[in-house]
Amino acid sequence: MNHASQSALGPAALGLDVGTSRIVIARRSEDDFRFESQLNAFVAIPYSKITEGVLEREKIPHTVQSGQIIVHGNESEKFAGLLNAETRRPMTGGVLDAKEPESLTMIREILTTMFAGHRAEKRQKVCFTVPAAPLNAGGSLTYHEATLRQILTDLNYEPVSINEGLAIVYSELESSNYTGIGISCGGGLCNVCLAYLSVPIISFSIPKAGDYIDTSAASITGERANRIRLTKEDSFHFNGFFADKVHQVLGVYYDDMIRSLVTALKDAFTGTSNLPKFNRPIPMVLSGGTALPPGFRDRFEKLLWEQEFPVTVSDIRLAQNPLHSTAKGALVCALSDS
Amino acid sequence: MARSPILEPPLWVERRAARIADPVERLRFLRREMRRQPRQTHRWRAAGLIAGLVAMVAIVPLPTGTAETFAREKRLVAPAVETTPVDGAARVWLVDKSDSTELYSNGLRVDFTFAVSNRARGRFPIFSLTGGAEPREEGSKPVGIVYHTTESNLAPFAEQENRRLQRLGRGLMEWVRQDRSYHYVIDRFGRVYRVVKESDAANHVGNSIWADSRGVYVNLNDSFLGVSFEGQTGAVDEVTPAQVTAAKELTEMLRSRYGIATEDCVTHAQVSVNPQNMKIGEHTDWAGKFPFAGVGLPDNYSIPVASMYVFGFDYDSVFLRATGTRWRGLDLAELRVARQAGAEGLETPRYRAILQHRYKDIASALKEKSAEVNQ
């Protein structure tokens, strides 16, 4: 993107991907995009003055409440490891967790930490992601969206929301005039959006994603879900045979997740009567942390080709940067709104 | 599930959007124009279709970039091809056959314990080296071999590890059979297993490119046989002497059976590409240290990398690290691209972009064809 076009874009804007496991902010910097991410998690540790002093000195984000120190964001994982405890999360299944008492406080703290040092210009626009409604299931997203909107307004931003799958389309499918299928495979949900010339036509989510794999594998192997997640992110891939039990179990549940996603895609697209007539095959993009293991795209492609998919797909590709593409798409949306 | 009404914008919206280079501006334009589009009735949709057809006849075909690509390609001088002549492979013949094994005249013994069928090998397109998205001819029998590693778990290659070595090997073979991953696998003791029948395609190579004097091959599952070494890149016992010996015998047999040229016996890393970022080496098995001499082949890392000089693919530092010692084939491919760009009076990046357009057109056509076949 060139400088001339930047000047035409109006005031700076932000893209914000609020995911179950990570929160990512995207900013525009000269010709490039910059990203900042924090784990959307926290851990409570017993209060002591010494511990608090160390955290202050090391500038580790934390809050003190009810005789506990709560460490949030990226550092929470390290502390959970030290204490042999599970991290807690403000969100589950793609939305704010109603059962987690610290949910609102923590998400506000994490966002405040991330926005710190970048105080909003007056009514700076921030486009934040929200999941789509689950396929064939009820469930209201209103509370989740309204709460995030309120937190961002309190922080002096002008919030607008975007569907997660659509954000993938805006991030990755410029070359097809924002026509195609964006799929975000995150922690809590897989979000899907079919867009035609930037307009979302079909969007839905399924509740099988990274967390489903972690918890299912944990229940089989007896490992902690946290540990399973680390193994999954560090060394799992689809291209080989694994003698090791954790990898084998991960493979089984990954396969189950992909099959569910492919089936949902087929059902949703087959069951709709208002598909536009595409004058050429359309691309499909996979994104999100759960799509990262080597071989994921190939496995997905293989299973999709086994189905009679009602839309002709030109190619299935992995996003250029699967961990950041949702935030980038939200930013592109915010900039185009400015 | 959320659904929006059908929108059928006029043709000019899409065309004008395609001319806007800035992604944000393009999105802004599309969102504005699409908001203006009313939901259309069937009558209007029919009228729109007729108008569209008239426009299609009257106006130049749509795909952006393609027309320009072909216009330039028509003028391109055919790249000079430095080919290796198809050399005479030693004659190897079948000596004995049972339900479970085959014995060949060079000592090769093939085990069928894990043999399986897959989809029949299809006729595959062979594209011209000099341009165009239409295939010049079609092939039906294997033209080459791609060598892989299974990247599976390994035990130390030692006597006291016998049981574990065998257990891992068996598990691997079960997995490879289930996935129809290769035509042949050579285990760590040098046993050669036939997995997918030679008359069928194996799922071994995905997005890939290679070229020889006959033309250019894109996505090699149908045109190349897959031979994999049980092994893991970078492991201490990456490959055993028994595997090298077996690979030599297997290569001799396949070359003899299909008249395969040495230049078409290459590694997965040499042919693998990532169309998403237009870089070579999406898979890096045998990116370095493939025992070409031991397998009875010349150093094929010296052959110019086809994806680079035919379709303008590039490489990155990660790939170079994987190769260990830089291949001569990378330098030769770069040189060829630069020379060709010079002959055309184009900057190298511009010339490379033209080559890349050609690849995208071909890849898109192949996907479409594959989708049709699957339907």
Q: How confident is the model at residue B374 (pLDDT cuts 50, 70, 90)?
A: low
Q: CB B368 to CB A335 under 8 A?
A: no
Interface of B with A in 327-366 (CB under 8 A): 363-364
- In a shared domain, residues A209 and A236: yes
Q: Per-residue pLDDT for B80 more than 60?
A: no
Interface of A with B in 207-266 (CB under 8 A): 237, 239-244
Interface of B with A in 82-101 (CB under 8 A): none
The kind and range of the H/E element at A26 are strand A22-29
Query: Can you name the residues that pair with B322 across neighbouring β-strands?
Result: none
Q: CB A200 to CB B2 under 8 A?
A: yes
Radius of gyration of the CA atoms of chain B, in A: 25
Is the CB of B316 inside 8 Å of chain A's CB atoms? no
Residue in B closest to A278 by C-alpha: B8
- In a shared domain, residues A126 and A253: no
Is the CB of A199 inside 8 Å of chain B's CB atoms? yes
Q: CB A5 to CB B63 under 8 A?
A: no
Q: Are the beta carbons of B332 and B304 closer than 8 angstroms?
A: yes
Q: How confident is the model at residue A120 (pLDDT cuts 50, 70, 90)?
A: low
Tokens representing residue B85 in the block: 């002549």
Answer whether residue A286 is part of any domain: yes
- In a shared domain, residues A144 and A64: yes
- In a shared domain, residues A34 and A123: yes
Q: Per-residue pLDDT for B45 more than 60?
A: no
Q: How confident is the model at residue B58 (pLDDT cuts 50, 70, 90)?
A: very low
Domain boundary among A123, A148, A172: A172
Q: Which of B1, B33, B193 to mutate to test the interface with A (most CBs of A within 10 A)?
A: B1
Give the model's pLDDT for residue A288. Answer: 94
Out of A133, A312, A320, closest to residue B2 by CB: A133
Q: Per-residue pLDDT for B39 more than 50?
A: no
Q: Is A145 left (phi over 0), alpha (psi -120 to 50) or beta?
A: alpha
- In a shared domain, residues A86 and A208: no
Give the model's pLDDT for residue A5. Answer: 37
State which of A3-12, A129-138, B216-225 shows the largest mean pLDDT. Answer: B216-225
- In a shared domain, residues A236 and A150: no
State which of B31-45, B48-62, B63-77, B184-198 shows the largest mean pLDDT. Answer: B184-198
Give the model's pLDDT for residue B64. Answer: 27
Answer whether residue A330 is part of any domain: no
Interface of B with A in 172-191 (CB under 8 A): 172, 174-176
Answer whether residue A336 is part of any domain: no
Residues of chain B with pLDDT > 70, as a percent, come to 82
Answer whether residue A143 is part of any domain: yes
- Identify which has the larger pLDDT, A324 or B11: A324
- In a shared domain, residues A186 and A264: yes
Q: CB A314 to CB B18 under 8 A?
A: no
Query: What's the gap in Å between the CA of A43 and the closest CA on chain B?
Result: 35
Q: CB A201 to CB B172 under 8 A?
A: no
**Whole-angstrom Cα distance, residue B218 to residue B362?**
8
Out of A200, A243, A336, closest to residue B28 by CB: A336
Answer whether residue A329 is part of any domain: no
Q: Per-residue pLDDT for B67 more than 70?
A: no
Q: Which of B8, B15, B24 to mutate to test the interface with A (most CBs of A within 10 A)?
A: B24
Answer whether residue A252 is part of any domain: yes
Tokens representing residue A157 in the block: 């931003």
Out of B6, B25, B363, closest to residue A274 by CB: B6
Query: What's the gap in Å between the CA of A90 and the closest CA on chain B?
Result: 25
| Local structure of A161: helix, strand or coil | strand
Q: How confident is the model at residue A192 (pLDDT cuts 50, 70, 90)?
A: very high
Residues of chain A with pLDDT > 90, as a percent, come to 42
Q: CB B1 to CB A239 under 8 A?
A: no
- Identify which has the larger pLDDT, B37 or B338: B338
Q: Are the beta carbons of A205 and A189 closer than 8 angstroms?
A: yes
Instruction: Count CB neighbours of B41 within 10 A.
Output: 9
Is the CB of A206 inside 8 Å of chain B's CB atoms? no
Out of A279, A281, A335, closest to residue B371 by CB: A281
Query: Can you name the residues that pair with A41 across neighbouring β-strands?
Result: none
Contacts A201 to B, Cβ<8 Å: 3-4
| Local structure of B3: helix, strand or coil | strand
- Identify which has the larger pLDDT, A154 or B254: B254
Query: Which CATH class, in words, describes the domain spanning B69-374?
Result: alpha beta
Q: Per-residue pLDDT for A191 more than 80?
A: yes
Residues of chain A with pLDDT > 70, as a percent, come to 91
The domain total for chain A is: 2
Answer whether residue A29 is part of any domain: yes
Is the CB of B27 inside 8 Å of chain A's CB atoms? yes
Q: Are the beta carbons of A184 and A172 closer than 8 angstroms?
A: no
Q: Are the beta carbons of A55 and A44 closer than 8 angstroms?
A: no
pLDDT digits over B233-272, tens only?
Answer: 877 667 899 999 999 999 999 999 999 999 999 999 999 9
Answer whether residue A334 is part of any domain: no
Domain boundary among A129, A147, A172: A172
Is the CB of B160 inside 8 Å of chain A's CB atoms? no
- In a shared domain, residues A164 and A202: no
- In a shared domain, residues A195 and A238: yes
Query: What's the gap in Å between the CA of B16 and the closest CA on chain A?
Result: 10
**Whole-angstrom Cα distance, residue A293 to residue A238?**
7
- In a shared domain, residues A156 and A255: no
Residue A75 phi, psi dihedral angles, 5° rounding:
-70, -20
Domain boundary among A172, A192, A224: A172
**Whole-angstrom Cα distance, residue A240 to residue B229?**
12
Amino acid, res. B182 = Y
Residue B316 phi, psi dihedral angles, 5° rounding:
-130, 180
Out of A279, A281, A318, closest to residue B368 by CB: A281
Is the CB of A268 inside 8 Å of chain B's CB atoms? yes
Residue B93 CA from chain centroid, whole number: 30
Out of A177, A178, A274, closest to residue B3 by CB: A274
Q: Name the pairing type of β-strands B144-149 and B224-229.
A: parallel
Residue in B closest to A317 by C-alpha: B276
Q: Are the beta carbons of B263 and B83 closer than 8 angstroms?
A: yes
- In a shared domain, residues A211 and A303: yes
Is the CB of B373 inside 8 Å of chain A's CB atoms? no
In terms of residue numbers, what domain contains A302? 174-318
Residue A2 phi, psi dihedral angles, 5° rounding:
-95, 170
CATH of the domain at A14: 3.30.420.40
Contacts B4 to A, Cβ<8 Å: 199-202, 274
CATH 3.40.80.10-classified regions of chain B: 69-374
- List the alpha helices (DSSP H) in chain A: 3-7, 49-57, 75-83, 103-115, 142-154, 164-172, 210-221, 225-235, 245-270, 296-305, 325-337
Q: CB B2 to CB A9 under 8 A?
A: no
- In a shared domain, residues A62 and A165: yes
Give the model's pLDDT for residue A84. Answer: 74
